[in-house]
Amino acid sequence: MNKPAKNAISPTRQENYPEWFQQVIKAADMAENSPVRGCMVIKPWGYAIWENMQRILDAEFKRTGHQNAYFPLFIPMSYLEKEAKHVEGFAKECAVVTHHRLEDNGAGGLRPAGPLEEPLVVRPTSETIIGAMYAKWVQSYRDLPILINQWANVVRWELRTRLFLRTAEFLWQEGHTVHATAEEAIAETHQMVHVYAEFAEKVMAVPVIIGEKTPGERFPGAVTTLSIEAMMQDYKALQAGTSHFLGQNFSKAQEIKFQDQNNELAFAWTTSWGVSTRLIGALIMTHSDDDGLVLPPRLAPAHVVVMPIYRDDETRNEVLAACKNLKQELEAIRYHEGSVRVEIDDRDLRGGEKKWHHIKRGVPIRVEIGPKDLASDSVFVGRRDEAKSNGMPRSEFTASIASVLDQMQNNLFAKAKAYRDARSVDLKTESEFRAFFATDDDSTKVGGFASCFFESEEAVKPLLDELKVTIRCIPIEQEKASGTCFVTGRPTEQKAIFARAY
């Protein structure tokens, strides 16, 4: 049977966006659901993207003075109870270990043996366990700041899960820092949200808005939560990273105290910040098209896939040798923090099938080399962002590869930004707001980012609940201004981005 002639992915984005998202992941072979409810298996192609993210972010964390460490997966339940808002926020979604060891149940199966004295919570986030250690480590102002990050998995027992966007277990990094002053901690919080924004825009080619969360959307126990917000192709917002100023809430709950330079005992100021495998979801939903995954070159596990074309064993060796030679030459070319990454695909598959395989996986550049190309010392090149392939002299290809990759990277960002800006509006009244978020039966693609003055969360909540819209953030870079609340009509200086969200 022939595959659809037009698009590799069915349904298309227009037809059914959520289903399209699942199909892109499947077609690119990035991840799949596991036998464990809500938990995904990240397959090599997906994991390689994560490794690229890790490597680049980790270098940024180190550059900004942080070190990596590792803390336990299990947290004594009592630790979580110490900060009231924190418990409230996380209790419902915690997985809890109540027993240790297994024994024969007498029916050929197993059963848990000994109950634990105190249940252990599988970390939903590590503020409490890390704070408990910090309390021991911090005695003097000379012990500060503590700037530590950990790469880990966390578990949040969500009721409804979706690959990469919300899974019961996910991979992330969490930075946890301790400072002597509020100013320093606040500066850290801002520094890290800017690291995330820079990463999103420069590496992921995903335009983001940096903003502050309103009290209702804040991390439980935080004084201030900063986030980066991105717009997906269905115009919904995705929170892609957060950075929290925790004030002294956790240090008081956990007794993180130190003697300052005036010989007085003071509670420390803490922060935490994190990004997760959800970034991969953001990547997919920002750039991919109806032919599958589209990867920004800086994160692509392979920049170039080389496909040898041959009919018989005679040409095979010759063509393969040329492919290996090209791979070697390309790999000697520097590209950002490494070199050009090249794969040779000499699997025994038909050419068309191979080509589509790599299109669906989002490889930026495909190169085909056959006997005719050898004769003319040229290569046949296809770009993921262009429908047609073109022949060109081999030397021209190798000389331009780095700049072509950069150009593709920049194009992706520009395209995503234009897409977002086209759906970002300023709205002044409730009727404008309702019209903007009105549900269209023919399409799930309605709404976008609405920038509006609002009096308070309470004042707009009923309308937001009705329309399933949330306050994403109060952008930190917007100009100070005053206007009138789009719901109550009363004067206010608060202005936020409103959107439907994942």
Partner RNA sequence: CGGGGUGUAGCGCAGUCUGGCUAGCGCAUCUGGUUUGGGACCAGAGGGUCGUAGGUUCGAAUCCUAUCACCCCGACCA
Nearer to RNA among residue 144 and residue 497 (C-beta): 497
Instruction: Note the helical H segments in 160-232.
Output: 182-198
In the complex, the smallest distance separating the C-beta of residue 14 from RNA, rounded to whole angstroms, is 16
Nearer to RNA, 127 or 455 (CB): 127
- Per CB under 7 A, residues contacting RNA are 1-5, 7-8, 33, 37, 89-90, 92-93, 124-125, 156, 158-161, 166, 217-220, 222, 225, 242, 291, 307, 309, 311, 350-353, 355-356, 360, 368-373, 380, 389
Query: Distance of alpha carbon 333 from its chain centroid, rounded?
Result: 28
What gap in Å lies between CA 456 and CA 233, rounded to an integer? 29
294 token code pair: 């589209």
SS3 of 297-356: the string is HHHCCCCEEEEECCCCHHHHHHHHHHHHHHHHHHHCCEECCEECCEEECCCCCCHHHHHH
Distance CA 348, CA 243 (A): 48
Are 145 and 184 spatial neighbours (Cβ–Cβ below 8 Å)? yes
Distance, in Å, from the CA atom of 25 to the CA atom of 284, rounded to the nearest integer, reads 8
Q: At what angle do helices 278-287 and 17-27 cross, to 10 degrees?
A: 110
Q: Quick one: 316 or 428, whose CB is closer to RNA?
A: 316
CA–CA separation, 36 vs 16, rounded Å? Answer: 26
Beta-sheet pairing, 304-308 with 365-369: parallel
- Cα–Cα dist 298/340, whole Å: 10
**Which one, 311 or 490, has the nearer CB to RNA?**
311
Report the DSSP beta bridge partners of residue 441: none
CB of 398 to RNA, least distance (A): 16
Roughly how many angstroms between the first and final C-alpha of the chain, as a whole number? 37
Cβ at position 170, least distance to RNA in Å: 8
Pick 130 or 144: Cβ nearer RNA = 130
Output the smallest distance, CB 488 to RNA, in A.
23
On the CB side of 280, CA atoms within 13 Å amount to: 32
- For RNA, give the closer residue by CB, 76 or 371: 371
For RNA, the closer CB: 10 or 191 = 10
Q: Cβ neighbours of residue 489 under 8 Å, at least 6 residues apart? A: none
SS3 category, 164 = coil
Shortest separation between residue 119's beta carbon and RNA, angstroms: 19
What distance in Å separates the CA atoms of residue 501 and residue 230, rounded to the nearest whole number?
10
What is the Cα–Cα distance from 170 to 154, expressed in whole angstroms?
6
Nearest one of 423, 404, 422 to 412, comparing CA atoms: 404
How many other CB atoms sit within 10 Å of the CB of residue 366?
Answer: 21
CB of 35 to RNA, least distance (A): 9
Classify burial at 307, counting beta carbons within 10 Å of its beta carbon; exposed 0-12, middle 13-18, buried 19 or more.
buried
Considering the complex, what minimum distance in angstroms separates the CB of residue 378 from RNA?
Answer: 8
User: Would you state the structure tokens that stand for residue 181, as one six-digit string?
Assistant: 């002053």
Q: Judged by CB, which is closer to RNA: 86, or 303?
A: 86
Which of residues 81 and 255 has its CB atom nearest to RNA in the complex? 81
Least CB distance to RNA at residue 149 (A): 16
Nearer to RNA, 219 or 453 (CB): 219
Quickly list H helices, 332-445. Answer: 351-360, 371-376, 394-422, 430-436
Is residue 463 within a helix (H) or strand (E), and if so which, with residue range?
helix 457-467
Closer by beta carbon to RNA, 370 or else 447: 370
- Closest contact distance (angstroms) between CB of 377 and RNA is 12
Round to whole Å and give the CA distance between 116 and 76: 10
Minimum distance between the CB of residue 368 and RNA, rounded to whole angstroms?
Answer: 4
* 74 vs 310, beta carbon nearer RNA: 310
What six digits make up the tokens of 344? 């040779």
Among residues 128 and 225, whose Cβ is nearest to RNA? Answer: 225
